C-alpha cells in the first residue's frame, strides 16, 4: 500500500483526491491536510465522506508528513509549495504538486504572470511536467517532484499537440477559447462565485492575461521547437464540473482533414484516457464527467483554411486530481489506470 498524504485536502481538487484515493486499491490516505479546518473531522467539512473518511484534518507540517508518506499531493495556493518545500522533504518522499509552482521552466515568466517571487527556482529543472500521455517517459523511480498540469492547460495542449508537433497548423495563429465549470474557481467564499451570481449567466475573464497562457505556450513551444505566442480566453459557465476548449489555427499548406485524422489516431489510439471521437461527433463535457477521460475531435474549415479542435474533460479529474493519481501510478510502477477506471456519469 502506498501511503499518501494530501496538503490542501479541503479544496475541491483536494476533495477529489480524497475521493479517488479512497477508491484506489493500492493507496491509503494517512494525512488529510487542511490549515483552515485543522482539528476538525474531514467528514464534517465534506459530509459526503461520512463513515468513509472520518479522520481529523491535520496542519501543514510537511517535514513530519514527509517522514510518514510515500507520496504527498499538494493542492495549495500558488507559491505555497515553493515556500515550504525543503531538501529533506524531497529526500524522504515524492511530491505531486497540483499548483503551478513548478510547471513553468522559465522562472522569469512564472514571476511575471503570477506576480510571486519563486522561493525555490533551483528545483524547477528537476520537476517533471506531468502531462502523462506526453511525458510519461520522463517519470521514473528517481523522480522526486512532479508538476501536475493545469486544467485548462491539459484540455488545450492535448487537443493541439499532434497538430503542432507534426506541423499541421501555424502555431502563431492559435486561439484557445475555453469554457469552464465553476469548481475551477475554488471553494473560497467570494461573492462572485455565489449561486445567484453564477447561475443563468456566462462571462469571459482573465482576457489576455490568464496565467495558464504561458503554460500552454511553453508546452506547445516544445512541440514545435520554438517560442510561440497564443491567445487564450477562459469563460465561466453555470455548471459545476467540466472544461471545453474550442481551439482555432491556420492550417499549413497541404494539410487536409484526412491527414489530420491519421496523425491524431496515431498519437491517441493507444491512449486509454484520450478518446478521439468518430468523425462528426464532438466532445461535450458531460461525456467525461466524473471520469479521467479527455475527449477530442476536430474539423477543418476549408472556406477559411483553418482547423477547429474541440477538447473536453472533467476539470477536477483529468484536469487535476485524476491526472495527479495517474502520475502517481506511473511513478510507483502501477498500471496507469489503477483506481481511475470509473465510467463517466452522463446524467
The rounded distance, in Å, linking the Cα atoms of 10 and 13 is 8
Nearer to a copy of itself, 2 or 13 (CB): 13
**Per CB under 8 A, does 268 bind a copy of itself?**
no
**Per CB under 8 A, does 221 bind a copy of itself?**
no
* Site pattern 305..344 for a copy of itself (x: CB under 8 A): -x-x-x-----x------------------------xxxx
The rounded distance, in Å, linking the Cα atoms of 37 and 40 is 6
Regarding beta strands 306-313 and 294-301, do their DSSP bridges make them parallel or antiparallel, or are they unpaired? Answer: antiparallel
Burial grade of 229 (CB within 10 A; 0-12, 13-18, 19 or more): exposed
**Per CB under 8 A, does 1 bind a copy of itself?**
no
Residues 75-114 within binding reach of a copy of itself (CB under 8 A): none
Nearer to a copy of itself, 142 or 347 (CB): 347
Q: Which of 239, 212, 217, 240 is nearest to 228 (CA)?
A: 217
**Per CB under 8 A, does 49 bind a copy of itself?**
yes
Specify whether 151 is catalytic: yes
Residues 169-188 within binding reach of a copy of itself (CB under 8 A): 172, 175, 177, 179, 181-183, 187
C-beta of residue 245 within 8 angstroms of C-beta of residue 283: no
Residues 9-28 within binding reach of a copy of itself (CB under 8 A): 12, 15-16, 19, 22-23
Nearer to a copy of itself, 40 or 193 (CB): 193
**Per CB under 8 A, does 47 bind a copy of itself?**
yes
- 61, 138, 225, 238: which one binds a copy of itself (CB under 8 A): 238
C-beta of residue 132 within 8 angstroms of C-beta of residue 326: yes
Nearer to a copy of itself, 258 or 347 (CB): 347
Number of residues located near a copy of itself, criterion CB under 8 A: 82
Q: Which residues of 167-204 are buried (b: 16+ CB within 10 A; e: fewer)?
A: ebbbbebbebbbbbbbbbeeeeeeeeeeeeebeeeeee
Instruction: Please give the grid coordinates belonging to residue 150.
Output: 493545469
Please give the positions annotated as active site: 151
Amino acid at each position: 500500500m502506498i501511503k499518501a498524504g494530501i496538503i490542501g485536502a479541503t479544496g475541491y481538487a483536494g476533495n477529489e483526491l480524497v475521493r479517488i484515493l479512497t477508491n484506489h486499491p493500492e493507496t491509503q490516505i494517512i494525512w488529510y491536510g487542511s490549515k483552515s479546518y485543522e482539528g476538525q473531522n474531514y467528514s464534517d467539512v465534506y459530509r459526503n465522506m461520512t463513515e468513509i473518511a472520518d479522520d481529523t484534518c491535520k496542519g501543514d507540517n510537511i517535514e513530519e508528513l514527509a517522514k510518514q508518506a510515500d507520496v504527498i499531493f499538494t493542492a495549495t495556493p500558488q507559491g505555497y509549495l515553493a515556500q515550504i518545500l525543503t531538501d529533506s522533504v524531497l529526500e524522504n518522499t515524492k511530491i505531486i504538486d497540483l499548483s503551478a509552482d513548478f510547471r513553468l521552466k522559465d522562472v522569469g515568466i512564472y514571476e511575471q504572470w503570477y506576480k510571486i517571487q519563486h522561493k525555490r527556482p533551483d528545483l524547477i529543472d528537476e520537476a517533471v511536467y506531468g502531462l502523462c500521455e506526453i511525458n510519461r517517459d520522463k517519470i521514473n523511480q528517481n523522480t522526486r517532484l512532479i508538476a501536475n498540469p493545469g486544467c485548462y492547460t491539459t484540455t488545450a495542449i492535448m487537443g493541439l499537440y499532434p497538430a503542432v508537433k507534426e506541423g499541421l497548423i501555424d502555431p502563431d495563429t492559435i486561439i484557445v477559447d475555453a469554457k469552464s465549470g465553476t469548481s475551477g474557481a475554488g471553494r473560497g467564499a467570494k461573492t462572485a462565485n455565489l449561486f445567484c451570481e453564477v447561475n443563468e449567466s456566462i462571462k469571459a475573464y482573465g482576457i489576455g492575461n490568464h496565467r495558464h497562457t504561458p503554460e500552454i505556450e511553453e508546452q506547445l513551444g516544445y512541440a514545435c521547437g520554438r517560442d510561440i505566442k497564443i491567445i487564450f480566453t477562459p469563460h465561466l459557465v453555470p455548471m459545476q464540473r467540466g472544461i471545453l476548449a474550442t481551439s482555432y489555427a491556420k492550417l499549413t499548406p497541404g494539410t487536409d482533414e484526412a491527414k489530420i485524422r491519421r496523425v491524431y489516431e496515431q498519437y491517441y489510439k493507444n491512449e486509454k484516457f484520450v478518446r478521439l471521437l468518430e468523425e462528426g461527433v464532438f466532445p461535450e463535457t458531460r461525456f467525461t464527467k466524473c471520469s479521467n477521460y479527455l475527449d477530442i475531435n476536430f474539423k477543418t474549415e476549408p472556406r477559411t483554411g483553418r482547423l477547429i479542435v474541440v477538447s473536453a474533460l472533467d476539470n477536477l479529474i483529468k484536469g487535476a486530481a485524476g491526472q495527479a493519481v495517474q502520475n502517481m501510478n506511473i511513478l510507483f510502477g502501477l498500471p496507469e489506470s489503477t483506481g481511475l477506471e470509473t465510467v463517466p456519469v452522463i446524467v
